[in-house]
Structure 1
Amino acid sequence: MAETSASDILVRFKNVQKSYDGETLIVKDLNLDIRKGEFLTLLGPSGSGKTTSLMMLAGFETPTAGEIMLGERSLNRVPPHKRDIGMVFQNYALFPHMTVAENLAFPLKVRGMDKTDVTERVKRALSMVQLDKFANRYPGQMSGGQQQRVALARALVFEPQLVLMDEPLGALDKQLREHMQMEIKHLHERLGVTVVYVTHDQSEALTMSDRVAVFHQGEIQQIDSPQNLYEHPRNTFVANFIGENNRLHGKLLSREGDRCTVGLENGERVEAMAIHDAAPGAPVSLSIRPERINLNVQQEQNRFSGRIREFIYLGDHVRIRLEACGNSSFIIKQPIATLDPKLSVGDVVSLGWNVEHVRALDPVAVAE
């Protein structure tokens, strides 16, 4: 990807820290550039610092150290309502005593816009989220999905340059959540507004984002496109947090260029991509995605045998749990169409994967 020039940056976090007690840093020395027009997701487990970072950008929290810039101006002393930022929360935060149209008009009236403009903007925003017929309804008369659309329209109605979304789909059921993910993604593509989105749901992050920043213990572990995060995780935390992952523990035996040989605890050897910079003899953790492993195929560089322990049927694919490579919960994903119907529990099978699909990463405690 081409280098981003300064004029393409909308938001810049410079050495931002946040502590609530003066001792523990919830956000540690955050440096992050958010590009104009991009959909950036902050992803991570609870307590990783993602929501705190969003709240500092919104103005509801103040950085303990460092500076947040929006365009050319520092936001550190700008109150939330003067930041030109739209906000969508998980709980919608709609005014129950106001109709949908009045809810949407509110941020415009606060900004002193005249009546004709307000009416026109509200109409446009309602049409954008396909709620034209709901202008005179009250939030209490609408479903969760409809209320979330109103919240979305209200965040966009004053045409801010930046919209922040904090777990906005968390309260919706799975089907509606997936539908709304696509709605928001398409809306973003149409409007070209910059979106910063917070979630702990990895599939949501992968589906919607241009880039994802993975947070852990107050620091960004990796910021990348969804595909790169999934296929090329830089460390064990990212490999385990994004998607499903088989993890094997071993020692680095030798390294040549970008490849290495790892000895597993049971004596088997694996050829892998050398991502973690370890010296021979040092512990490493291997990461292999379940869908990258093949059964009964001859040509891979890494071939082992395993005993089938369980089949887990999931409609379009089957997860097969095996005892393999010293791991009793080794998972392979196979599309139903390619599964050999003669396989059964207890069978010993050969399995293998190519060297480019296994990554030698930093070691983690086996007890984890």
Structure 2
Amino acid sequence: MVETNDPFVRFEDVQKSYDGETLVVKNLWLEIAKGEFLTLLGPSGSGKTTCLMMLAGFESPTHGQILLGRQSITHVPPHKRGIGMVFQNYALFPHMSVAENVGYPLKVRGVGKADMQARVQRALDMVELGHLGGRRPAQLSGGQQQRVALARALVFEPALVLLDEPLGALDKNLREQMQYELKHIHANLGVTMVYVTHDQTEALTMSDRIAVFDDGIIQQLDEPATLYEAPGNAFVAQFIGENNKLLGRVEAVDGPECAVRADSGDMIRATNVRTTGQGGRTLMSLRPERVSINPDPAQVPNVFDAEVLEVIYVGDHIRSRMRVCGHDDFIVKVPNWSGHVHLRPGERLQVGWYAEDCRALDA
């Protein structure tokens, strides 16, 4: 993934305000390696798209600078940055053929006709549309139009490609297919890609690293597995994947673990990730797939009574809503290893989990 120790893209103390008072992006320091696929992930209004627009040149930082290579591009206009861009709405010219759309960036750069035709064909073949160069965008499906937009962004061989929620308009199946297409294209070309989305599954599927934004700040920047398995604060835990939330107060800290008195009165052993210490409030985060049904109390430190309230058959797993530790929205996912798992509403049983799977975070 990383070709050099020097960052390829660097945000240095970048701030952005539209009204002179409220900061949409706050003191951003961010380095992106050459050849990396970095996703900016977060809810609407978190600052992720503003960061992409500043990198593209469509917005200017209020403070700080942005470097590409070792050169500042803070005041360089978009058309002189040499950056490929893919938008959610495709932005294709309806009066041009597919080949003409893809060739447009080469035309404005003065590339000769013969060279242009060869490069356009190569770009279309890359996205498996080499046979559709003569068609108009209106004659293509949404997924095909998105591939044309991607080919157009890649045809002039930019070192950096920015993608602003490019799969947002596609249906679920096509969206998932395009995620893998993008991942394979990135792997084959080695081009640096910066991708904006609010879809966590999309981010986890494609990224080398993910920057999780909230309130104009990167809350955590890590590889997908680390973000999912070891969220650093309560926001990241709740935004990435599904979690059970258990509120309580820390009663004791024992090395990497702590004992938390839940608001229900139950005592829970958890991993001490980000608490204020003994006496402090905490939110414990627990993935539904890490909860066991009827575990051995001698092996599992956290075992509690539960009542099944709702059962949903999902196919590869059974999703059950239970009453646990005073919560009626406690979710348990049971793998469907061998046929249907028999859980019934009203059934009483026990559930349990290991301390390392329960993360005590900021309240």
- TM-score, normalised to structure 1, is 0.96
For the 8 Å contact 2:282–2:360, the answer to whether it is kept is yes
- In the alignment, what sits opposite 2:161? 163
1:13 aligned partner? 11
Aligned residues of 2:275 and 2:281 also touching (Cα < 8 A)? no
- How far apart, CA to CA, are the structure 2 residues paired with 1:341 and 1:125? 49
Kept after mapping to 1: 8 A contact 2:219/2:236: yes
Q: How does 1:330-349 map to 2 (within 5 A)?
A: 330-337=330-337, 341-349=341-349
- Look up the match of 1:310: 310
* Structure 1 residue 355 corresponds to structure 2 residue 355: yes
Find the counterpart in structure 2 of residue 324 from structure 1: 324
1:85 corresponds, among 66, 83, 86, to 83
**The residue matched to 1:337 in structure 2 has which SS?**
coil
Which whole-Å deviations, capped at 9, do the CAs of 1:69-95 have from their partners, x for residues lacking one? Answer: 000110111110111100000000011
1:242-257 equivalence runs, <5 A: 242-257=240-255
Query: Deviation at 1:341?
Result: 4.4
Match in the other structure for 2:289 = 291
Paired residues, number? 361
Cα distance in 2 between the residues matched to 1:343 and 1:67: 57
State which drifts further: 255-264 or 160-169.
255-264
Counterpart-to-counterpart distance in 1, 2:176 and 2:355:
34
SS at structure 2 position matched to 1:48: coil
- 1:366 corresponds in structure 2 to none
Question: Do 2:4 and 2:34's aligned partners in 1 also have CA atoms closer than 8 Å?
Answer: no
Alignment of 1:51-130 (within 5 A): 51-130=49-128
Mark the CA change 1:30 to 1:183 in structure 2 (over 3 Å): closer, same or farther.
Answer: same
Q: % of aligned pairs identical?
A: 60
Question: Secondary structure of the residue that 1:36 maps to in structure 2?
Answer: coil
Picking from 21, 28, 31, the partner of 2:29 is 31
Once the two structures are superposed, residues 104-163 of structure 1 have per-residue CA deviations (whole angstroms, 9 ceiling, x without a partner) of 111011111111211110010011011111111010111100000000000000000000
Gap runs ≥5 in structure 1: 364-368
CA contact (8 A) 2:311 2:318 kept: yes
Rounded Cα–Cα distance in structure 1 between residues aligned with 2:150 and 2:104? 14
What's 1:271 paired with? 269
Tell me the CA shift for residue 338 of structure 1: 5.7
In 1, Cα distance between the equivalents of 2:252 and 2:282? 12
Distance in 2 between the 1:99 and 1:339 partners? Answer: 52
- Partner Cα separation in structure 1 for residue 164 and residue 341 of structure 2: 45
Whichever residue aligns with residue 328 of structure 1, its letter is D
The alpha-carbon deviation at position 5 of structure 1 amounts to 5.9
Whole-Å separation in 2 of the counterparts to 1:292 and 1:48: 30
Are the structure 2 counterparts of residues 219 and 53 from structure 1 closer, same or farther at C-alpha, using a change threshold of 3 Å? same
Tell me how far apart the structure 2 counterparts of residues 184 and 239 of structure 1 sit (CA, whole Å). Answer: 26
Compute the displacement of 1:342 (Å): 4.3
Letter of the 2:62 partner, please give it: T
Whichever residue aligns with residue 343 of structure 1, its letter is L
- Determine the C-alpha separation between the residues in 2 that align with 1:305 and 1:101: 64
Residues 4, 33 of structure 2: 8 Å contact kept: no
- 3-state SS, counterpart of residue 28 of structure 2: strand
The runs of 5 or more residues in structure 2 that have no matched partner are none
- Deviations along 1:251-282, one digit per CA (max 9) or x if unpaired, are 00011211111001121111111011412111
Determine the C-alpha separation between the residues in 1 that align with 2:73 and 2:304. 56
Distance 1:46 1:242, change over 3 A: same
Would the alpha carbon gap of residues 352 and 339 (structure 1) be closer, same or farther in structure 2, given more than 3 Å must change?
Answer: farther
Per-residue CA deviations over 1:158-199 (Å, capped at 9, x if unaligned) read 000000000000000000000000000000000000000000
Letter in structure 1 aligned against 2:291: I
Q: Quick check: 2:294–2:350 contact (8 Å CA) kept in 1?
A: yes
Residue-by-residue CA offset, 1:306-331 (whole Å, 9 max, x unaligned): 11100011111111110001111100
Distance verdict in 2 for CA 1:342–1:135, change over 3 Å: closer
Give the superposition deviation at 1:339.
7.6
